[in-house]
């Protein structure tokens, strides 16, 4: 089953595809517990629940990565004691003291870059040991797939973005214009193309220098 999931993960074209594949297999790998996959959103430094199985984890769909002991130590963290001794803030805030359940957190990381977290909830402490080794293996696999897809996306964006203005370049235009015109035409929708020209731009370069010209281009962009 691990090999089959690995093959499917290799075929994923987007990170969202990875989440979908793992959501299908989470319950198969860990039928004795509930859990979820959290991924770090770099824009707001919060972890977001992207896949889950078993008991829903909606109450902790988003939290700061530093609220997890496993992420802080970059090591798997097991807690089987009591609700009063919980060190993971994201669990302590959502787990009632009168209904404590053992849990396991396994960080996703690559070369000390934090990527996310696998979180598991169990009925008994005996179940934790049976899952920890497999959880670490899957976390390592997911980390590699996610980091590879992110690097691929970054490289692809560099080839279609202008480095100065951050706007899409001519290559992107040529790759998309046929699609963007064909679909509306087939559905009989109107299409508008707008061209913007900066009047006297050569004079700006001649009088103020290329640095000033670059500044104008960036502002226009």
* Tokens linked to 91: 């669990």
Q: What share of the chain is helix, strand, coil (3-state, %, to 5)?
A: 50, 20, 30
pLDDT of residue 184: 60
Q: Which residue has the higher pLDDT, 183 or 139?
A: 139
pLDDT at 18 over 80: yes
pLDDT digits (tens, 9 = 90+) for 89-143: 888 877 766 778 888 999 999 888 899 999 998 888 777 877 888 999 999 999 9
Set out the domains of the chain in order of their start, with CATH numbers.
Answer: 2-159 (3.30.450.40), 170-220 (no CATH)
Nearest by Cα to 47 from 59, 58, 34, 37: 37
Within 10 angstroms of residue 4's Cβ, the number of other Cβ atoms is 10
pLDDT digits (tens, 9 = 90+) for 54-84: 877 756 678 888 889 999 999 999 988 777 7
Q: What are phi and psi of 49, to 5 degrees?
A: -75, 120
Q: Which residues of 160-169 are buried (b: 16+ CB within 10 A; e: fewer)?
A: beeeeeeeee
- In sequence order, the 6+-apart residues with CB closer than 8 A to the CB of 76 are 70, 104, 105, 106, 107, 132, 135, 136
Q: Which residue has the higher pLDDT, 129 or 21?
A: 21
- Mean pLDDT, to the nearest integer, of 20-35? 86
Residues 48, 122, 134, 106, CA torsion sign: positive
Is the pTM here over 0.85, yes or no? no
């Amino acid at each position: 089953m691990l090999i089959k999931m690995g093959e499917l993960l290799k075929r994923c074209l987007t990170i969202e595809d990875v989440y979908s594949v793992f959501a299908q297999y989470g319950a198969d790998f860990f039928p004795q517990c509930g859990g979820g996959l959290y991924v770090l959103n770099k824009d707001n430094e919060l972890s977001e629940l992207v896949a889950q199985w078993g008991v829903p984890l909606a109450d902790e769909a988003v939290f700061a990565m530093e609220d997890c002991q496993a992420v802080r130590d970059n090591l798997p963290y097991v807690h089987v004691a009591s609700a009063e001794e919980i060190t993971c803030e994201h669990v302590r805030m959502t787990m009632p003291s009168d209904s404590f359940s053992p849990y396991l957190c396994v960080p996703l990381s690559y070369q000390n870059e934090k990527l996310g977290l696998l979180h598991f909830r169990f009925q008994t402490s005996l179940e934790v040991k049976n899952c920890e080794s497999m959880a670490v293996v899957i976390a390592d696999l997911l980390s590699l797939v996610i980091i590879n897809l992110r690097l691929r996306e970054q490289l692809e964006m560099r080839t279609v973005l202008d480095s100065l203005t951050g706007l899409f370049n001519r290559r992107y235009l040529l790759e998309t214009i046929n699609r963007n015109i064909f679909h509306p035409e087939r559905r009989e929708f109107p299409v508008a193309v707008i061209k913007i020209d900066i009047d006297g731009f050569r004079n700006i370069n001649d009088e103020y220098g290329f640095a000033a010209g670059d500044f104008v281009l960036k502002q226009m962009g």
